[in-house]
A and B are shown apart, each in its own frame.
Chain A
Amino acid sequence: ILNVEQSPQSLHVQEGDSTNFTCSFPSSNFYALHWYRWETAKSPEALFVMTLNGDEKKKGRISATLNTKEGYSYLYIKGSQPEDSATYLCALGPYQGAQKLVFGQGTRLTINP
């Protein structure tokens, strides 16, 4: 069974502070790792698709890194703003021929003004 783990499960950060959280996954048979941001009452929004070991991607104040050899990805948010409050999901896939995404349980981020 493929296990994707995210930590921490929840996080409270002061506005203006920077933060990061982790996604861990099996390093074998890796194809792609996806990061999504899911705000309450909205659709999950695709942030990054990462495929290469050592990948680093950036979108505004959010960036992500990937280490496929050791099986982890970090998501960083610089200078947190209230609009960053959301659940951040990572997902592995496709995996071993199956097209589905396998998700972690998410990190719920709350930015305190």
Chain B
Amino acid sequence: GAGVSQSPRYKVAKRGQDVALRCDPISGHVSLFWYQQALGQGPEFLTYFQNEAQLDKSGLPSDRFFAERPEGSVSTLKIQRTQQEDSAVYLCASSLADTDTQYFGPGTRLTVL
């Protein structure tokens, strides 16, 4: 069946631009997670949704980062006024329930020039 998809796969932005990254989770999955992976490091948690409710946003690095999941399915991660340190791979994952296995998308590689 269809897995988690993310778009775009690659994004190049000039410093100061706003970007929006999309995640389509597996149909029926209640939980959705965003992670950021900087070069040479493991993925780090950004935020978590249960249906449309954002239950944990403790990992968002600044108020320039904003995530939403208005209808409890597709999610968008928005980064305003991008900085070079935002360059990373952004991974989305979904799971059937909170404690189940998380299934990942292929990520969006963001490069900020």
A: residues with CB less than 8 A from B are 4, 6, 31-32, 34, 36, 41-46, 49, 89, 91, 94, 98-106
Q: Which of A31, A49, A103 contacts B42 (CB 8 A)?
A: A103
Q: Is B40 in contact with A43, judged by CB distance below 8 angstroms?
A: no
How many whole Å from A6's CB to the nearest CB in chain B? 8
Interface residues in chain B, defined as those with a beta carbon under 8 Å from any beta carbon in chain A = 3-4, 31, 33, 35, 40-45, 48, 55-56, 58-59, 91, 98-99, 101-107
Candidates B4, B31, B91; contact of A99 at CB < 8 Å: B31
When the two chains form their complex, are residues A32 and B99 in contact, meaning their CB atoms are under 8 A apart? yes
Please name all residues of chain B whose beta carbon is closer than 8 Å to the beta carbon of A102 when the two chains form the complex.
45
Asked if B4 contacts A100 (CB within 8 A), the reply is no
In the complex, the answer to whether A49 meets B43 with C-beta atoms within 8 Å is no
Question: Across the interface, do B45 and A101 meet the contact criterion of CB distance under 8 Å?
Answer: yes
| A34-B101 in contact (CB<8A) | yes
Residues B105 and A99 in contact, CB atoms below 8 Å apart: no
A57 smallest CB distance to B (angstroms)? 13
CA gap between A43 and B6 in the complex, in Å: 10
Q: Which residues of A contact B106 (CB under 8 A)?
A: 41-43
Beyond the given A99-B31, A100-B45, A104-B42, could you list 15 further A-B residue pairs with CB under 8 A, ordered by the A residue number? Answer: A32-B99, A34-B102, A36-B104, A43-B106, A44-B43, A89-B43, A91-B42, A99-B48, A99-B55, A99-B99, A101-B35, A101-B102, A103-B43, A105-B41, A105-B42
Q: B104's closest neighbor in chain A, by CB?
A: A44
Give the complex CA separation of A1 and B107 in angstroms.
26
Complex contacts, A49 vs chain B, CB 8 Å: 101
Q: B49: shortest Cβ distance to chain A, in Å?
A: 10
